[in-house]
Chains A and B, each alone.
Chain A
Amino acid sequence: SQELEQSPQSLIVQEGKNLTINCTSSKTLYGLYWYKQKYGEGLIFLMMLQKGGEEKSHEKITAKLDEKKQQSSLHITASQPSHAGIYLCGARVGIIQGAQKLVFGQGTRLTINP
């Protein structure tokens, strides 16, 4: 079965600093999804990557997909307190109708110190 490993598991950075979170898959990636979760709340969709080399940005968050390495990275520039939370990567297990389930990494807990 497919497994996703996120690193680091937790991260504490000073406000204004840049940071990167990695997500590595044990199998081929058919779609990689990044979500953010705050305690006691649901997952908020951030970005989805499908093709190798694809890169997407939203405000100060950039996600990249390296298909050959079966890896994705999430980069936050000039971090702010609003970026604090748990970041989860999820991967689709296949492309057919019966393979649309997502498996998730264990999450990266991000703390921003003022």
Chain B
Amino acid sequence: DAGVIQSPRHEVTEMGQEVTLRCKPISGHNSLFWYRQTMMRGLELLIYFNNNVPIDDSGMPEDRFSAKMPNASFSTLKIQPSEPRDSAVYFCASSLGWRQGTDTQYFGPGTRLTVL
């Protein structure tokens, strides 16, 4: 079975450019999460969706970050404009549901973003 799919795996861009990260959750999963991992701050949640609806976006750093989930099989995380401090590994994860027993999150391979 296919796991969580993320693209691209690596992205190098220049400061000020728009960056779009993509995620395809595991088929049948109803919850989708975006995390960011850095050496300084570790792994932190940015935003998550249940049934395509954003539930908690309190971790989104600022207005430069936006996330959408237009349907159950696709989500994007966009940074516009990008800054060097956005350099990190961005993970997408999905879970079957939100109730205990269905809420185990399965992670994708991540997108390593470098902003020059």
Q: Which residues of A contact B (CB under 8 A)?
A: 30-31, 33, 35, 40-45, 48, 50, 88, 90, 92, 95, 97-98, 100-107
Contact = CB atoms under 8 A, between A and B. Distances in A.
A3 B7 CA distance: 30
A90 B91 CA distance: 15
Interface size range of chain B in the complex: 20 to 34
A42 B103 contact: no
Interface in B68-116: 91, 93, 95, 98, 100-101, 103-110, 112
A42 B110 contact: yes
Interface centre among B43, B55, B101 (most CB of A within 10 A): B43
B45 A101 contact: yes
15 contacts: A30-B100, A40-B112, A42-B4, A42-B107, A42-B108, A43-B107, A45-B104, A45-B105, A100-B55, A100-B103, A101-B45, A102-B105, A104-B44, A107-B42, A107-B43
B79 to A, nearest CB: 20
A27 to B, nearest CB: 16
B26 to A, nearest CB: 12
Given A101-B48, A101-B56, A31 B98 contact: no
Contacts of A97: 50, 55, 98
Contacts of B42: 104-107
Contact of A98 (B56, B95, B104, B105): B56
Contact of A101 (B33, B100, B104, B109): B33
A30 B98 CA distance: 13
A102 B91 contact: no
Nearest to A98: B55
B45 A102 contact: yes
B109 A41 contact: yes
A43 B42 CA distance: 13
A100 B48 contact: yes
Contact of B98 (A43, A50, A100): A100
A26 B3 CA distance: 32
A92 B31 CA distance: 14
Contacts of B104: 33, 45, 48
